[in-house]
Amino acid sequence: MTSKTVFITQEGPANALALNKDNSQVVIAGRNVFKIFALLEDRFEEVCNLRVGKNLNLNFSCNDVAWNLTDDHILATAATNGAVVVWNLNRPSRSKQEHVFVDHKRTVNKVSFHMTEPMWLISGSQDGTMKCFDLRTKEATKTFYSNTESVRDVQFSPHQQHTFAAVSENGHVQQWDLRRPDRYFQHFTAHSGPIFACDWHPEATWLATASRDKTIKVWDLTAKPSCDYTIHTIASVGRIKWRPQRKYHIASCALVVDCSINVWDIRRPYIPFASFNEHKDVPTGVAWRGDPQSFLSTSRDCNLYHHVFKDATRPASKANPQGIALNAKGDIAYACKVNVNAPTSSVRKQLIYPRKMPTSNDTFYMAFSMMHRFTVTTPQEPKWFKACAEGYLLSGKLNEICDHNAVVASKAGRNDISTVWSITKTLYTDSLGNILTTPPTVSKEDAVNTLNLSQMAIGPNAEQTNTGHENDVKSLQGEAPGVISGGDDETETDETPENHHFIGPIPSGYRRSFSGSKRQPKGDFFFGEGELEPMTMEYTNAYMHNIINNDNDWTLPKEAFPLRHEIQDRSPPPEQFPNHSPDINDDTGAITVEDQPCQLIVTAIPKPVFWDPTHLIEEALRHHAAIRDIQTSVSILIALGDRRKILNIEMATQEHWLLEYIDMLGRFQLWEVATQIIQLAWMPSVSQLNQQSTTIHACCSTCTKPLQRSAWLCDRCHTSRHALCSICHQVVRGIYVWCQGCTHGGHVTHISEWFNSNRQCPTGCGHLCEYT
Amino acid sequence: MFEAHSINAEHKDLIHDIAYDFYGQRMATCSSDQFVKVWDEDEHGNWHLTASWKVHSGSVWKVTWAHPEFGQVLATCSFDRTAAVWEEIVGEGSGPGERGMRHWVRRTNLVDSRTSVTDVKFAPKTLGLLLATCSADGVIRIYEAPDVMNLSQWTLQHDISCKLPCSCLTWNPSLSRLHPPMLAVGSDDSNTSNGGKVFIYEYSENSRRWTKTETLSNVVDPVHDIAFAPNLGRSFHTLAIATKDVRIITLKPVQDSAQSGLSRFEITTAKFEDHYCTVWRVCWNIMGTILASSGDDGCVRLWKDNYINNWKCVAVLKGDGTSAQSTETPLTTTPPNHPTGVQQPLSTTRNVTIATVTAEKPTAPIMSTSKWQAPVTKGRFSKSVWLGNPAEPSPLPPPILDRPKSKK
């Protein structure tokens, strides 16, 4: 039984257990159980049931049991009725009861044999006394009065023959000399609550005490008692036992709550070194089997367990040794366990960790953490987020907003976002504003993009975004990761034909719109690289003409404009566009434009490419939300004003975006921006955010009593003087305005009329009031 | 890119958790020494210890801040089987020095657990003042303070048993009404045969119950930490998991099971073994763009994704503060033809991929070409990892995309 955790269940709970001197047998004793078991290799075997006889009186009901350390056949029990009973296993009769001492007046808590003198037995009782019995004379030779209400534990010192320690319910520890029963020779207060147990260290001059105050304290008693270690446990401690051959280890079990038996390293008093969780109820006794690897325990769950150390759980190994946190600025706080053993080869050490337990045992108590803060020297994200949040215009004319915001974004280093704003501008301000009245003219570049559109419109959504992404990635490859990719796109964007010689905003509007969804690089790729498969283009007749006649000039001839009615009539509704395109392709011929680096197959179609940016914007917004750039999505959404109504984005999603953005602004403490957004919000759930739990308290100006029922009548002075208008001298019952300088005020209309022509306060107080 | 500053926390035992408050201007640390310490940042960016007190009678595993609209509130959980809620109050006493003094008071002690409480987290503020705890015996408890002004009254709303010992939990931070309240819980059970160690729970408004809607069956090793990324308006959820490696999992709600009222997810897993040892913590930045992970190698690795959700390690910070590395300063150079059998502690490129799809039809892993990334060959080690269910037939190798290199 040295290597296995085994248990045996009894009919009743045992209060205590004791091992014989060679640790081969164990006795367990309780109110209804009193048995001896032999410890076999893989099980317990009952050797003797001591609870036999005709008269099973209270003498059989045990609080504690002790096995003589020299004579293997002598046992002693502390009975609940105040008796101390001695048992002789060598008695020939069935009953092994040898002698009953009935000296104590109340229940006996503890019995203990002397280490070297087999005839000496000491007891501690609830009556506040300790008695020393001589088994030869069968009488209580000495009585020690503790002057406390009850003695919970007594233990002979292993170091000094005549010394024993006693602990009591009032938190005191006493040291007595057996030869001087009149008075203890040492006395101190160890705990703030009752002490339930004590245990002498087998080698050091330490006495450990366990208390209801949830602590275990280790006292050095060589000179003046000093508390060397304190262990904070999670519950009242009922029993403690030093672990043999391990100087700093002590086992403890709780009196309540905690069913586990913990073994502590007193140098690391916060977390058990090992924990045994087999019991289902609180353990009542612990006894080491002489070696540090195994011990026995009894519990209120009626089980007797044999525990082996290798089956213990190690709470510290499950404990998370690291902490990490990131804040809004991007700072990282990091705490990690310092590797005491091998600070240089940490990786290697970790690999051998599970196998090499001794290493962890040796360093167990040396656990401590280091904490570091890593600050970002050049914070990127928070900076542009703040700059954009504060700089963005959100209401007004869309094109102004877009222009302004594009500048803000590019100043913040967000060139890609800046482009998005410009695109938005051209998409909406021009397309919706002008396009309906001008022909949907397209330059060649636009044609390329038109193609993209058609592809996009036809293909399933997911695929489309993927291709978009791939292009992004392509352009990104070779860049250091972590750099915001948009920057790259932007530089290319600037080279694109938009800057060349367009006639009007319309074509560029088109061009940009496409790249808007594609995030620019697509167009660039198709163009600059010429490595993509042939492209099909949908084109108006007029434009075909244009291109063919006027290869090198991509500007639109003015003559194109008169065509608009015709074109407009034929322009299909945007939604139908995807459906139409196959037909369109069918009846049109393909033309290859030779002078392009890429092979362009231009299909001439009779229908104009009038097209609605809605779903493109929608895509863009969703895309930015997906890449966690909620700022852009929300800002554009707000800037769009009523145009957002035609976007096919569910209200719930829009609300979601707004809430997330507001939350993010909160983190950066950009309250003003957040408030602005709340005010601009078009859904009640968001716009009412600021109206919740906002109360203004007002007081009467004469008696300073808070105005409770109404703002214009004071409950104490029963007047409305404080609410009179300075001009008409009537009580103001609606909105009251006042100057914070002189506190005078009145009806909004009256005051504003007055200040149209005057600067001083209407009351004549001489104050130059300032209203904003 | 990063500057390391050492902070002498003076905790007497291991520090188990660090938490920044909502604004990132306060920091709380907790330790086995049963203390929590609160640090405040001054206007010069220096951090000062402003409070330190004993919070439990056992190791304090986690500390977390409530949303500031509920006040300055902390929650802690401990080996002593309790979780506690603390509030900082400004003294109103008349004695000298008392007025204006701040101190922390315990508002409640949640004692329902019978084993160590391993994690505690406040719900997103839209759900009210809600607190979730999980414990070593596998019970998740959700408490609510019905009156947000009274932090001493908490009622146990739900008690969810998840069979395996729980080690960590995280709320889905989404503020959208489209997403039902969601929790992910990780277990540190070390028996890999017990199946998935990460569970997703969702609250159904109709049945008013929390139900397990998903078990991530490809995470079978003990899970030490778990964190949902800030949502920021996305329709899908991103979950980081610290187990023997770092995993980043995206959960895309699939609406085909609308009738049952429970959404199932399309799950994509990415796995990174750069730590080459147990990973203890994962943490997102507030934008959800950077993931920090830390492991037994004593390093913090920062991960960032590009536009196709391909995550890469962008920086390695050493925990001892001796060196802070980032990709700007190149990591260890590796010979191009490095034998693959040898593990390298540092690698920059790590590729990712796909995985099983809905729980309903787990048989055919969906392969979408775009998700297999052709390894980026820059003279560094790279490989693709398949993360499907081991029981399934192994998938086809990644298609070789005939993709010409861009001009750069």
Query: Hey, are the CB atoms on A627 and B58 less than 8 Å from each other?
Result: no
Of B314, B368, B370, the CB nearest to A482: B314
The residue among A215, A231, A267, A327 with the most chain B CBs within 10 A of its CB, best to mutate, is: A327
CA B118 to chain centre: 14
| C-alpha distance from residue A34 to each of A44, A439, B262 (Å) | 15, 105, 58
Binning chain A into helix, strand and coil, the percentages to the nearest 5 are 35, 25, 40
User: Which residues in chain B are contacts of A376 at CB distance < 8 A?
Assistant: 1-2
Please tell me which residue, B399 or B45, carries the higher pLDDT value: B45
Phi and psi at A153, nearest 5°, equal -155, 145
Query: Hey, are the CB atoms on B59 and A270 less than 8 Å from each other?
Result: yes
CA distance B50 to chain A (A): 17
HEC string of A195-256 equals: EEEEEECCCCCEEEEEECCCEEEEEECCCCCEEEEEEECCCCEEEEEECCCCCCEEEEEECC
Mean pLDDT value across residues B8-27: 90
Query: Hey, are the CB atoms on B57 and A325 less than 8 Å from each other?
Result: no
User: Which CATH class for the A6-315 domain?
Assistant: mainly beta
pLDDT of residue B299: 85
Of A374, A385, A633, the CB nearest to B324: A374
Nearest CA in chain A to B242: A320
DSSP H or E stretch at residue A389? helix A381-391
Asked whether the beta carbons of B305 and B283 are under 8 A apart, the reply is no
Query: Hey, are the CB atoms on B18 and A335 less than 8 Å from each other?
Result: yes
Strands A600-605 and A535-540, by their bridges, are parallel
Query: Hey, are the CB atoms on B310 and A335 less than 8 Å from each other?
Result: no
DSSP conformation class of B124: P
pLDDT of residue A680: 86
Of B30, B283, B405, the CB nearest to A326: B283
Nearest CA in chain A to B284: A326
Average pLDDT taken over every residue of chain B: 77
| C-alpha distance from residue A267 to each of A202, A249, A270, B46 (Å) | 17, 9, 9, 33
As a whole number of angstroms, the distance between CA B165 and CA B185 comes to 10
pLDDT of residue A379: 72
Asked whether the beta carbons of B225 and B242 are under 8 A apart, the reply is yes
Query: Hey, are the CB atoms on A473 and B310 less than 8 Å from each other?
Result: yes
Asked whether the beta carbons of B303 and B321 are under 8 A apart, the reply is no
Low-confidence ranges of chain A (pLDDT < 70): 1-2, 340-362, 429-611, 692-696, 711, 772
Query: Hey, are the CB atoms on A268 and B13 less than 8 Å from each other?
Result: yes
Query: Hey, are the CB atoms on B321 and A372 less than 8 Å from each other?
Result: yes
DSSP H or E stretch at residue B216? strand B209-216
Query: Hey, are the CB atoms on A377 and B2 less than 8 Å from each other?
Result: yes
pLDDT of residue B97: 59
pLDDT of residue A433: 45
Query: Hey, are the CB atoms on B307 and A333 less than 8 Å from each other?
Result: no
As a whole number of angstroms, the distance between CA B53 and CA B30 comes to 10
Query: Hey, are the CB atoms on B287 and A628 less than 8 Å from each other?
Result: yes
User: Which residues in chain B are contacts of A375 at CB distance < 8 A?
Assistant: 2-3, 5, 45
Burial of B211 (0-12, 13-18, 19+ CB in 10 A): middle
**Model pLDDT for residues A660-711, shown as the tens digit of each residue:** 999 889 888 888 888 888 888 888 888 877 776 666 677 777 777 777 777 6
Average the pLDDT over each of A69-83, A128-142, B297-311, B392-406 and give the range with the smallest value.
Answer: B392-406
Asked whether the beta carbons of B31 and B15 are under 8 A apart, the reply is yes
What are the boundaries of each domain within chain A? 6-315, 323-374, 384-439+610-691, 698-772
| C-alpha distance from residue A735 to each of A722, A731, B344 (Å) | 14, 11, 73
Q: Confidence class of residue B92 from pLDDT cuts 50, 70 and 90?
A: low
Nearest CA in chain A to B125: A663
Phi and psi at A234, nearest 5°, equal -90, -5
pLDDT of residue A521: 40
User: Which residues in chain A are contacts of B276 at CB distance < 8 A?
Assistant: 347
Residue A39, SS3 per DSSP: strand
User: Which residues in chain B are contacts of A473 at CB distance < 8 A?
Assistant: 306-308, 310
CA distance A377 to chain B (A): 5
CA distance A463 to chain B (A): 9
pLDDT of residue B332: 36
Nearest CA in chain A to B31: A369
**Model pLDDT for residues B353-371, shown as the tens digit of each residue:** 333 233 333 333 333 333 3
pLDDT of residue A475: 42
User: Which CATH class for the A698-772 domain?
Assistant: alpha beta
As a whole number of angstroms, the distance between CA B366 and CA B290 comes to 28
Q: Is the pLDDT assigned to residue B93 strictly greater than 90?
A: no
CA distance A725 to chain B (A): 38
pLDDT of residue B65: 95
A651-667 helix and A630-639 helix, angle to the nearest 10 degrees:
120
CB count, 10 Å around CB of B88?
Answer: 16
User: Which residues in chain A are contacts of B178 at CB distance < 8 A?
Assistant: 650, 652-653, 656
User: Which residues in chain B are contacts of A686 at CB distance < 8 A?
Assistant: none
CA distance A364 to chain B (A): 11
Query: Hey, are the CB atoms on A323 and B32 less than 8 Å from each other?
Result: no
pLDDT of residue A189: 92
CA end-to-end span of chain A: 90
Beta bridge partners of B303: B291, B313
pTM exceeds 0.95 for this model: no
**Model pLDDT for residues B43-89, shown as the tens digit of each residue:** 887 888 999 999 998 899 999 999 998 999 999 999 989 999 999 98
* B20: CB partners within 8 A, 6+ apart: A325, A326, A327, A328, A333, B26, B27, B65
